[in-house]
Amino acid sequence: MKLLSRRKLSRIIACVSICVSLIVCIGWILDIPTLESFIPNAVTMKFSTAISFIFSGITVYFISKYNEGKTGIAQIAVPVSGFVIFLFMATLLAANILGISSGIEQLFIRENQDAIKTSIPGMPSLLTMVNFILIIITGVLTFSESKLRKIITPIGYIVSTIGIISIVGYVINQPSLYYYIVGISSGMAIHTSILFTILGIAIILAGNNEIPQRIESVKIYPKITSLFLASSLIPIIFVVGLNFNILEDFPNNESIKISMIIISIVTAITAIIFSLSISKPISKPITSLKNIAMQISKGNYSIKANESGNDEISELSKTFNQMVDNVIKSERLSTIGLLSSTLGHNIKNDLGTIKMTLEILKYKYSPNLDEEASSKIALMERSILHIQNQIENTLDFSRLSPFKLESVSLLKLIENTLNTIKIPENITIDVPRKDISLYCNPSKLTVVLTNLINNSIQAIDTKGKISIKANEDKNQSTIQIEDSGSGIPSEILLKIFEPLFTTKRMGTGLGLASCKYIVEEHKGNITVQNNPTTFTISIPKK
């Protein structure tokens, strides 16, 4: 069975549990005995059990949703549902262990003293209370990122097994199997047994040992609001309802005091536990950000904050990571600027001297040079040009001074650019037939076009074509440079504009970074796509 279908079935079972429990609640409120036991003269499902099954169904339903990655409502519904169940079952269990009446046994309802297989009127069986607490633990572990998540599925088997044993007890008429022990434990009702069996199966179907990929999240404000509602309104309603019954049924002041102490202690512990379970998902990302900040302060820039979710903390994490990236970029820019300022101009001057000397030697000895000497001189000239281009790329990238913008003709800009590029005979370049106007710095944009066209030439191994296209509207001008080369590997496509990233043996990794910087200084945008390789430059007209 597919995982998605299993979880869907889990939610259907959870809804069945909710519906059956609602029917039992109606039976108690309207005093319809058939709905309380379904079988005449059989053990009744207690009112507290029916309420707990409603919220158990809600818990299992949202556990299934959470494991599908739909975590938003589940982060509120599961803890709040568990809170209600725990208020009932923990108080009843404490009263049962201490051998006293808590008052919850008769909360909102009356059960006769001679009720069938009931040790204390209104008190569920011991295993009923244990099973509900196991379901609460399942809800808590669902939000856990520890290895304890692995026990969720075994808990489902335990819950089902307890229910199945009780059903067998009814089939063979053995009260001890449905947990009836005189004076100690009431019997488990047949429909309670059935609901535990199917809810255990629902937990197994919904369970997932892996932490789900977070698809959605709840904002911090609703989380805090739900925390206060669950920690205040529910206990208040719970205690008020209980006091009403205590004042009516227990005229003895001492009994009232004991009951109130038990209720107060259990309510306080419950509020603490579930407040912590809700606040942890809020505090953990903040603590994580603090630890990451400490690592970064020590120079570890490789660490990243977790950006999953859609709440304010995840937005803070994204902003934090962007800040770190900007710090790294600033350090790179600083390093590049320092290197270019100290070395770039000196090397450029020395190259100028070498190039001038080479021109003089070439002019003076040209008539006497053989073919091998001429090829060596040509090789030297290409190497000098290559080094000059690398220096220009570095200087273009590190120059942060503002530049003047003016309206220029694209065709004129392309013509000037192509005059500075040596185009191989095996490559043809198509230019736009229709001219458009660019609002730019001509010299800076010439650097961009030169870099992109040179890259396209290098990408074409044999015969090929480079197409330059252009269009405009009232807001922006767009230039596209497309080539018939081998394309850019998809794994590096997103990295090619990063400073110092290069796949060329003799590259600096600054050519495309310079292009991106120059275009962005024009308040424009540059993108790239494959099949065929196309660089798109968009520049606003104002």
User: pLDDT tens-digit profile of 304-323?
Assistant: 767 676 767 777 777 777 77
Asked whether residue 335 falls in the same domain as residue 474, the answer is no
H-helix or E-strand containing 97?
helix 74-98
- Whether residue 227 sits in one domain with residue 264: yes
Least-confidence region, from 13-22, 480-489, 508-517: 508-517
Identify whether the C-beta of residue 32 lies closer than 8 Å to the C-beta of residue 23: no
Instruction: Tell me, yes or no, whether 300 lies in a domain.
Output: no
Domain end position, chosen among 346, 379, 398: 398
pLDDT for res 157: 94
Q: Both 383 and 425 in a single domain?
A: no
Q: Cα separation of 363 and 536, whole Å?
A: 43
Compute φ and ψ for 430, nearest 5 degrees. Answer: -95, 125
> If DSSP states are collapsed to H, E and C, what string results for 254-300?
HHHHHHHHHHHHHHHHHHHHHHHHHHHHHHHHHHHHHHHHHHHHCCC
Q: Kindly report, residue by residue over 58-74, the tens digit of the pLDDT.
A: 989 988 888 777 767 77
Do 169 and 284 lie in one domain? The reply is: yes
* Pair 436, 480 in one domain: yes
Highest mean pLDDT among 122-126, 256-260, 383-387: 122-126
Reported as a single tens digit per residue, the pLDDT across 458-469 is: 888 778 888 999
- Classify residue 302: in a domain, yes or no: no
- How high is the pLDDT of residue 502? 66
Share of the chain above pLDDT 90, in %: 11
CATH value at residue 452: 3.30.565.10
Question: Do 327 and 263 share a structural domain?
Answer: no
Q: Are residues 286 and 320 in the same domain?
A: no
Together in a domain, 316 and 452: no
The string of pLDDT tens digits covering residues 127-147 is 999 999 999 998 888 877 777
Provide the domain limits for residue 330.
312-398
Does one domain contain both 487 and 349? no
184 inside domain: yes
Total number of domains in the chain? 3
0.75 surpassed by pTM: no
What is the rounded average pLDDT of the residues 473-483? 88
List, in sequence order, every residue forming a beta bridge with 463; answer none if it has no partner: none
Domain identity same for 498 and 433: yes
371 domain residue, yes or no = yes
307 assigned to some structural domain = no
CB contact set of 517 (below 8 Å; sequence gap of 6+): 396, 397
Q: In this structure, are 431 and 517 located in the same domain?
A: yes
Residues 146, 245 within the same domain:
yes
Overall average pLDDT of the 519-540 stretch: 88
